[in-house]
Structure 1
Amino acid sequence: MEDKLCFVILNYKQSEYVISNVKRILKIYPRSSIVVIDNNSSDGSLENITHEFMENTNVKIYGNEENTGYAKGNNLGVQKAKEAFNPEYVAIMNPDVELIDDELVPKILKAFENHPDLALCSGVMLNNKRKLDYTKIAWKVPDKLDDVILNIPFLGSRLSPIRYTEYSVQDSGLAFVDVIPGSFFVVRLKHFKSPNIFDDGTFLYCEERILGHIIKKKGLRTGLVMTNFYLHNHSYNKIPGLRQTLLTYSRLVQSRIYYNMKYNSWPKIIVIPPLYLSSLVGFLLAIIGWPVKVTIRYAHSNERR
């Protein structure tokens, strides 16, 4: 079934990761195809990747004219995959994901074969320290006033209303969940009649929950292969500056507002006012909390010396 699978990798200034991943995919899944979209990197990424694979017919590389974000960039990748390879399945893969388990993709494809209503499937994500955080491998689709709580730092992480407290795992090792991380997953294309998989109303954040909501509403399912893993090399060690911290939080809040305006089951007049209020509280706590985080990190670094 690997010949029916196309990997889509969306790059932004991470060409070294992309080149390494494409080489590994070609080695362990030689019958699959690959589409790389460069999201208007300014560091020569497109040229580097193109030079590396320009003679490989199983790899297609395209440059985006602007950085359109996660949803639009990956939608373009899926469209190009359909045009070039006409796959049955597409694997959405971040550049900083490492496929450390050769059996993961075959098991995902087997899960699709065994479950016709399975629309989306992935393995268990490990962080860059190869540690497993069960709160981040899957979560419930947010609804009602969930994001009012999630908007507030510290409170949302401790009282998360969308967290799974346990997973029901079948004999095959598959667990059915609402939402899985957007860093890596495989999608069965026939369940999506629209040219796009993602709602492109967001730039970054909340794409996974929107996809999970759409799949659930269609009466389809999302699966997690609990016996196999992949590595997400996203670094959480460095604390960004205050400006970047607030920009990141702003994008997160904007995406949550968009999601609740379009997908929340409750009336907007009930949901949106407290959502804006919690966003304001979240901004204030982010400003207050930033120097505290920096101080604690500095103290810990001095202790290690």
Structure 2
Amino acid sequence: MHISFVILHYLTEQDTIECIESILNNVDYKDYSILVVDNGSPNNSGESLKLRYQYNSKVDIILSDKNLGFAKGNNVGFLKAKYEYQADFIILMNNDTIIEQQDFLDQVVSKYNSTKYAVMGPNIISTVDNNHQNPQPFKIITKKDTWYQLIRHLALLLLNYLNLEPAMKNILKKFKPEKVLVTRHKEELTDVQLHGSCLIFSPMYIQKFDGLYDKTFMYFEEAILFHLCRTNSLKTFYSPDLVIFHKEDSATDAYLKNSLQKNRFVYKHSVRSILHLLKLMN
């Protein structure tokens, strides 16, 4: 079976190189391709990657002339993998992730044969704090869950605009319990909301969809994907037998240096995405 990796690139060239090289150097599987979508990087890093990998038959660099956002950017690669490469499985990966597992793709195929998952997530280990990010600790299932997230993010956005967010967070810190590291889920789990830094799509999903829901720019793609899988009776599945490492937010941090500016970006786009999720629920 042919398996395509789709890596969304923006600005941080060294992260993308490390991601690509981790696949080329570690993954032991014959029939795979790596599609890198440069999401309109203004620093010419897309062209630099294209030059670097021009003679590698496994790596295909796709240049977008503008930043399409997370879903649409990934879908550029998803569509090419589906229709041009005839991929049986498509793996969407952040460019700040690393694979060190030799049998990663063998596991992708064998888990599908035994479980018939539509979307699978691996054990994702943060290199920042060693947290295990899959499955996500909460699931957005009901409209009540969604309205709560909308009100929360609108409140955070308002505090941000009023420049009251840092002061409010300092007050809340006094009442916040100590952060507990999330340990690895040792068992396989179904009906879970999966972390968006690595999503593995099987033939069951690929036959039905041409990628991710594409009306959002960034954030809450995982919740929307989970909702669409549930409403279409498609299985989401977590396996601890596949492992990747995640550096977290490198492209966003490179684009937005100021934390206040970064938070505003997150809240604004989160609100827009949550509104789309509410429309889908209706």
Residue of structure 2 equivalent to 1:92: 92
TM score, norm. by length of structure 1: 0.73
Equivalent AA in structure 2 for residue 181 of structure 1? H
Q: State how far apart, in whole Å, the 1-side matches of 2:109 and 2:134 are.
A: 25
Give the counterpart of 2:213 among 193, 196, 199: 199
Say if 1:178 and 1:216, in contact at 8 Å, map to a contact too: no
Matched, 1:249 2:267: yes
Report runs of 4+ in structure 1 exceeding 6 Å deviation: 165-169
Task: Say if 1:230 and 1:77 are closer, same or farther in 2 by CA, change over 3 A.
Answer: same
Matched, 1:6 2:15: no
Q: State how far apart, in whole Å, the 2-side matches of 1:7 and 1:88 are.
A: 11
Q: State how far apart, in whole Å, the 1-side matches of 2:205 and 2:132 are.
A: 30
Deviation at 1:75, TM superposition (A): 0.9
Say if 2:128 and 2:248, in contact at 8 Å, map to a contact too: no
Q: State how far apart, in whole Å, the 1-side matches of 2:58 and 2:89 are.
A: 15
Residue of structure 2 equivalent to 1:214: 228
Equivalent AA in structure 2 for residue 186 of structure 1? I
Task: Say if 1:138 and 1:121 are closer, same or farther in 2 by CA, change over 3 A.
Answer: farther
Equivalent AA in structure 2 for residue 243 of structure 1? Q
Task: Say if 1:141 and 1:52 are closer, same or farther in 2 by CA, change over 3 A.
Answer: same
Q: State how far apart, in whole Å, the 1-side matches of 2:208 and 2:138 are.
A: 25
Is the partner of 1:60 in helix, strand or coil? strand
Unaligned 5+ segments in structure 2 are: 157-168, 177-181
Say if 2:189 and 2:238, in contact at 8 Å, map to a contact too: yes
Task: Say if 1:68 and 1:101 are closer, same or farther in 2 by CA, change over 3 A.
Answer: same
Q: State how far apart, in whole Å, the 2-side matches of 1:247 and 1:135 are.
A: 24
Matched, 1:120 2:158: no
Q: State how far apart, in whole Å, the 2-side matches of 1:98 and 1:122 are.
A: 14
Residue of structure 1 equivalent to 2:277: 259
TM score, norm. by length of structure 2: 0.78
Aligned length: 249
Residue of structure 2 equivalent to 1:275: none
Structure showing greater radius of gyration is: 1
Deviation at 1:219, TM superposition (A): 1.5
Residue of structure 2 equivalent to 1:20: 18
Say if 1:92 and 1:186, in contact at 8 Å, map to a contact too: yes
Residue of structure 2 equivalent to 1:186: 200
Map of 1:1-305 to 2, 5 A cutoff? Answer: 1=1, 4-29=2-27, 30-31=29-30, 32-116=32-116, 118-129=117-128, 131-133=130-132, 137=136, 139-150=138-149, 151-152=151-152, 173-193=187-207, 196-234=210-248, 240-264=258-282
Deviation at 1:134, TM superposition (A): 5.9
- State the structure with bigger RCO (CA 8 A, min sep 6), 1 or 2: 2
Unaligned 5+ segments in structure 1 are: 159-164, 265-305
Give the fraction of aligned pairs with identical amino acids, expressed as a percent: 23
**Root-mean-square deviation (CA), in Å?**
2.8
Equivalent AA in structure 1 for residue 226 of structure 2? G
Is the partner of 1:262 in helix, strand or coil? helix
Q: State how far apart, in whole Å, the 1-side matches of 2:13 and 2:227 are.
A: 32
Deviation at 1:195, TM superposition (A): 5.4
Equivalent AA in structure 2 for residue 101 of structure 1? Q
